[in-house]
Structure 1
Amino acid sequence: MNNISWRHHYLPIFYLKGFTKNSKLLKIFNVQEKRFLKNGKEFSPESFFFEKDANTVIFGDKKNDYIESSYAEFDNEMSTLIERINQSDYTTNYSVTDDDMPRMNHFVSLMYWRLPHRTNELEKILKNSDLESLGLKVIDKSGERQIATEEKIKNNPEFVKGFKFYNSLMDSVRGVNCRTPYSILESHENLPFLCSDSPIIFESENPKVYEDDYLFPLSGNRLFIKANRRSEFPSYLRMLVDAVVYKQAQKYVSCTDESYIGMLDTLFERQNMEELKAEIFKRIR
């Protein structure tokens, strides 16, 4: 019991470190209260973007954090890949091969579904689907399907925790034939670094995570773009991406420069999030 983890990050710590600069710390902006916490104090990446016991499963009087361990295993693998990209440039194609694309898609799916505000979406999927259509079923010793038991399982909050991870695994299967090209865009080190608790940009509000185009900030100055590129990316694309990442935040945004939030508010106050996303996807295809 004493070895069970409880601080479960929905944005991995290694990922958050990519949005820090020399101090290795983050300023945190609360979008609901429209203010930087503690007057712009800097915090360690470990201090935010987590939920207590989010992936702890309780069986009777016992706790198990096997789901968190499963996330951590893949996070560790991805930290190596993303670090390689961050340390490389266009002359070596950022040290990425086509074989890395499925892993990146899987990581994006894990990131998307583990966000706290996706829980309601997953609950709706479970409510409107039977387990067999989701690739699961319960059978007894004689091989008979136990529908009543399946319904009880679907309504168990502990099952939803595991389904978050399972659904991402199924996304990998659903997207096994995906051959969408990708690009990596490098932005200047002098620009502020910004991240939020909803960092992945899809055009649709209800995307097929395994199939649709997306933009995914890998770090403060590396942007992963899954789309069929037809033209050069505009120089201000990263600022558009930062504006959307900021606008779609649920509670927290990290930023290395307090003035950058105000700048985004001023530049894009007349455009809502949907308009900005439409402009982005128009520019990258």
Structure 2
Amino acid sequence: MPQPISKKHHYLPELYLNGFTGSDGKFAVFDLKEKRLLKRRLSPSQIFYELHRNTFEVNGVKDDFVEKMYQRLETQFGHVFKKIREQESHSILDVPDMFNIVLFIGSLYWRIPTTDTLFKEVLMRSTPDELNFKIVNTKTGEEVDRIFYDILKGRDGFAGAYKMIKPIIDYIKNFDPKRLNDWKVYFATLNNNGERKELHLVGDNPVIFRQPGNDNIFDQELIVPLSSAKTLYHTRGKDISIIDPSSRINVDRLIFLQSERYVCGPDSYYLESIADQAYKFIETSPDMAVDFLRHQVFNIFH
């Protein structure tokens, strides 16, 4: 009897979402389609997923092998995010930890629904060399015709599996270990009252690029909240000036504006205030709000 397949497939993994919950293990949720804060708080298991997102038909049988591949990869990242949540400083993160964080960001970017269309475009225009594998005829030993690759790329099961594999290939090909110091983790410091304001938000499109839409993400300046208290910056050799509260708030405003379905955070009052500010930005400058905030959040790079 075949094993039952999983149904609920998270595109933002729970190990990541756990860093944005409150002391109750849940977070406040803002529904962007309904433009309102949900009345009840949700746990990471209840949000940022699609039913059967990673289920594909193989030889006439539905299979969740892609979801299982993601789960194995998440096991590799689990201990790093536990450190991120528990440690007050990023200084304990060693080189393997940072390598894993960078790889996780690559995986996260291609996993979210926001990049589905871009991924398909990149996949369909990729040559066999760019795909980084070769298919050969077992009898002749010769590489198959280009049309065979095109047929393969059009199959949902292959595309789903390659979406999981692509960030690993990109990481191997494009990530420069000598530039690891360009990736920096900063954490919320204590305020004058001795409090640590761990308020960062998470949305369904959590990676902020200086120049969005580029498929080589390891060569991009970017900002990603890793938890409600910690943020990853890829500076590409630039320095970072002092990160004051307004810089962190602008990141959250931009996270809110570039998300499509949900935005979450540990504190409902803060989330609702960011929503109000973000909508005012749109009302004031509907065509420029996102670009303005993007300029503001990268102003700390110099």
**TM-score calculated relative to the size of structure 2:** 0.85
- In 2, the alpha carbon distance for the partners of 1:57 and 1:198 equals 24
Q: 1:96 to 1:23 in 2, by over 3 A?
A: same
- Which residue of structure 2 aligns with residue 36 of structure 1? 37
SS of match in other structure, 1:283? coil
> What does residue range 24-173 of structure 1 map to in structure 2 within 5 Å?
24-37=25-38, 40-90=39-89, 93-141=90-138, 142-146=140-144, 147-173=146-172
1:107-157 Cα deviation digits (max 9, x unpaired): 001000000121111111122222332213322121222222211111112
Letter in 1 for 2:248: R
SS of match in other structure, 1:184? strand
- Which residue of structure 1 aligns with residue 225 of structure 2? 217
Letter in 1 for 2:96: D
Report the aligned-residue RMSD.
2.0
Which ranges of structure 1 fall in alignment gaps of 5 or more residues? none
Q: 8 Å contact 1:106–1:171 — kept in the other structure?
A: no
- In 2, the alpha carbon distance for the partners of 1:152 and 1:189 equals 53
- Which residue of structure 1 aligns with residue 204 of structure 2? 197
- Which residue of structure 2 aligns with residue 13 of structure 1? 14
Q: 8 Å contact 1:137–1:150 — kept in the other structure?
A: no
How far 1:174 sits from its partner (Å)?
2.2
Q: 8 Å contact 2:11–2:48 — kept in the other structure?
A: yes
- In 2, the alpha carbon distance for the partners of 1:267 and 1:34 equals 13
1:9-40 Cα deviation digits (max 9, x unpaired): 11111211111111111222111220123xx2
- In 2, the alpha carbon distance for the partners of 1:183 and 1:27 equals 28
Letter in 1 for 2:291: E
What is the aligned residue count?
A: 281
Q: 1:28 to 1:263 in 2, by over 3 A?
A: closer
Q: 8 Å contact 1:30–1:252 — kept in the other structure?
A: yes
SS of match in other structure, 1:162? helix
Which ranges of structure 2 fall in alignment gaps of 5 or more residues? 189-194, 282-287
Q: 8 Å contact 1:184–1:223 — kept in the other structure?
A: yes
- In 2, the alpha carbon distance for the partners of 1:283 and 1:190 equals 20
Q: 1:2 to 1:189 in 2, by over 3 A?
A: farther
1:223-249 Cα deviation digits (max 9, x unpaired): 122213242222322211111111110
| Equivalent in 264, 267, 283 of residue 257 of structure 1 | 267
Q: 1:158 to 1:102 in 2, by over 3 A?
A: same
Moved more, 107-116 or 275-284: 275-284
Q: 1:119 to 1:230 in 2, by over 3 A?
A: closer
Mapped pair 1:272 → 2:289: yes
1:168-214 Cα deviation digits (max 9, x unpaired): 11111123325052322222644534211111111111232122121
How far 1:96 sits from its partner (Å)?
0.9
Q: 1:170 to 1:34 in 2, by over 3 A?
A: same
Q: Identity, % of aligned pairs?
A: 23
1:247-266 Cα deviation digits (max 9, x unpaired): 11011111333332442244
Mapped pair 1:247 → 2:257: yes
- In 1, the alpha carbon distance for the partners of 2:17 and 2:200 equals 10
- In 2, the alpha carbon distance for the partners of 1:274 and 1:186 equals 25
Q: 8 Å contact 2:264–2:271 — kept in the other structure?
A: no
